[in-house]
């Protein structure tokens, strides 16, 4: 009987003296890896395969990853691995400016809390007939986000091999590796090119290329945090601004052509053509307004979004502290009951002891540190 009480006091004392950290810290056993690529390339499927998780997966070219998502941490060769799922820059529900602001806010917040990536995976469909404008734009933005110094921590993963013949796939892989306009420049600077056959085994084998790496900050993290640049001053922001300005110039040319065609239709009294051109003009003007708005709001929206993410993280931290305080209170109540019921029956004391042990176990469960906190903040931000 006395042993139960002695053991519970010892467990309680140890638990309350050394609780799990409620504030972010660097865990040397933790490996954090970001997964990037175009919409529909299989990023989320890869993450679910590697982690055993259940993040939502899009179908075809429709995106289900319109925000940054985090996998549950999982054990791999003695490391606690967390995978970061990022939306592509060709997202079907958000503009490229929105995507950049979101990724930048997440990465900057992460780096400010002394968290860096063990690696970055870029996923490319080997089934793509050619590397078109969308794929090139995604890879260009990926390069601007990463910079050159972190390329030794980058793995380019080709997937969907089952959708092409072996000879065709190998020919495309060789072209990707040898062409300057594709992956050759990053491979020459230390990145690796590997295949994924859509199994958990190959997904985890790919992660093994990265989990022992020395974590390094991405270029956009050092630009935003260490150098104090605005988002538009970063390499990725400048590239997006260049693309937006190019879109605006293209739209302006198209608008001039439409206006000329409309004047011709008016002169020829072609009312049907005039109405059609008027509809096209309104659609083009709306698109021009959207692109101009994206360019103008790139900086201010990033600042606001990052501030809100920080606020949500603070709320998540306070909620975690409140939960821990309530757990401590429950432990102390059970300890008190056990002491007060020293003369109770063996079965009653065993029941109380079992409740106490379970409460201590819950209290000592890992709280997930920074990534659990930022995951809760993202979920709160989205109303999930």
pLDDT for res 246 = 87
> Which among 371, 280, 315 is positioned nearest to 84, based on CA atoms?
371
For 235-256, give one letter per residue: b (16+ CB within 10 A) or e. Answer: bbbebbbebbeebbeebeeebe
Whether residue 127 contacts residue 47, with contact meaning beta carbons closer than 8 Å, is answered with no
Tell me, rounded to whole angstroms, the distance of Cα 379 from its chain centroid: 13
Alpha helix ranges (H) inside the chain: 2-17, 43-51, 96-112, 133-146, 166-178, 184-188, 200-208, 219-221, 235-267, 271-340, 346-364, 369-382
Higher pLDDT, 104 or 324: 104
Residue 85 has pLDDT above 70, yes or no: yes
Collapsing DSSP states into helix, strand and coil, what is residue 231? helix
Q: Cα(316)–Cα(380) distance, rounded to whole angstroms?
A: 9
> Which among 97, 120, 104, 123 is positioned nearest to 39, based on CA atoms?
123
Collapsing DSSP states into helix, strand and coil, what is residue 155? strand
Residue 369 pLDDT level (bands cut at 50, 70, 90): low
Mean pLDDT (the chain) is 83
DSSP assignment of 247-287, as one string?
A: HHHHHHHHHHHHHHHHHHHHHTT-HHHHHHHHHHHHHHHHH
Whether residue 112 contacts residue 228, with contact meaning beta carbons closer than 8 Å, is answered with no
CATH number of 27-229: 3.40.50.300
Q: Is the pTM of this model over 0.85?
A: no
Collapsing DSSP states into helix, strand and coil, what is residue 218? coil
Residue 191 pLDDT level (bands cut at 50, 70, 90): very high
Residue 100 has pLDDT above 60, yes or no: yes
Residue 59 has pLDDT above 60, yes or no: no
Higher pLDDT, 234 or 16: 234
Q: What is the pLDDT of residues 198-229, one digit of tens each?
A: 999 999 999 998 999 999 999 999 999 999 99
What residues does 79 pair with on adjacent strands?
76
Collapsing DSSP states into helix, strand and coil, what is residue 368? coil
For residue 117, what is the DSSP state?
B
First to last CA, the chain: 47
Name the token pair of 284.
């083009």
DSSP assignment of 36-57, as one string?
A: EE-TTSSHHHHHHHHH------
pLDDT for res 196 = 96
Higher pLDDT, 3 or 216: 216
Domain ranges of the chain: 27-229
Q: Cα(103)–Cα(39) distance, rounded to whole angstroms?
A: 15
Alpha helix ranges (H) inside 147-226: 166-178, 184-188, 200-208, 219-221
pLDDT for res 60 = 38
Which of these ranges, 55-69, 248-262, 334-348, has the smallest mean pLDDT? Answer: 55-69
Whether residue 377 contacts residue 312, with contact meaning beta carbons closer than 8 Å, is answered with yes
Name the token pair of 194.
């590997």
């Amino acid at each position: 009987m006395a042993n139960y009480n002695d053991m519970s006091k010892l467990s309680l004392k140890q638990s309350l003296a050394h609780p799990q950290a409620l504030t972010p810290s660097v865990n040397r056993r933790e490996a954090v890896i970001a997964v990037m690529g175009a919409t529909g390339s299989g990023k989320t499927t890869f993450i679910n395969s590697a982690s055993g998780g259940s993040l939502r997966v899009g179908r075809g070219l429709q995106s289900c990853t319109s925000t940054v998502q985090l996998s549950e941490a999982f054990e791999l060769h003695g490391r606690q691995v967390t995978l970061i799922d990022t939306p592509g820059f060709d997202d079907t529900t958000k503009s490229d400016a929105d995507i950049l602001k979101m990724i930048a806010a997440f990465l900057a917040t992460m780096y400010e809390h002394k968290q860096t990536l063990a690696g970055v995976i870029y996923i490319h469909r080997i089934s793509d007939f050619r590397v078109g404008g969308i794929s090139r734009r995604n890879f260009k933005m990926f390069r601007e986000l990463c910079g050159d110094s972190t390329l030794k921590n980058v793995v380019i993963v080709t997937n969907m091999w089952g959708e092409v013949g072996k000879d065709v796939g190998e020919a495309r892989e060789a072209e990707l590796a040898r062409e300057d306009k594709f992956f050759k420049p990053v491979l020459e600077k230390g990145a690796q090119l590997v295949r994924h056959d859509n199994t958990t085994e190959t997904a985890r084998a790919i992660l093994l290329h990265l989990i022992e790496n020395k974590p390094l900050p991405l270029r956009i993290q050092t630009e935003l945090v260490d150098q104090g640049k605005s988002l538009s001053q970063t390499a990725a922001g400048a590239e997006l601004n260049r693309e937006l300005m190019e879109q605006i110039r293209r739209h302006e040319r198209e608008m001039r052509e439409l206006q000329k065609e409309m004047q011709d239709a008016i002169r020829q009294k072609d009312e049907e053509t005039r109405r059609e051109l008027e509809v096209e003009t309104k659609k083009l003007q709306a698109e021009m307004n959207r692109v101009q708005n994206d360019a103008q709001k790139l900086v201010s929206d990033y600042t606001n979004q990052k501030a809100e993410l920080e606020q949500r993280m603070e709320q998540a931290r306070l909620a975690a502290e409140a939960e821990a305080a309530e757990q401590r209170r429950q432990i102390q109540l059970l300890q008190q009951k056990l002491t007060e019921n020293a003369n109770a029956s063996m079965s009653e004391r065993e029941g109380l002891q079992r409740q106490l042990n379970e409460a201590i176990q819950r209290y000592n469960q890992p709280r997930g540190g920074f990534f659990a906190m930022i995951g809760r903040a993202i979920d709160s931000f989205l109303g999930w």
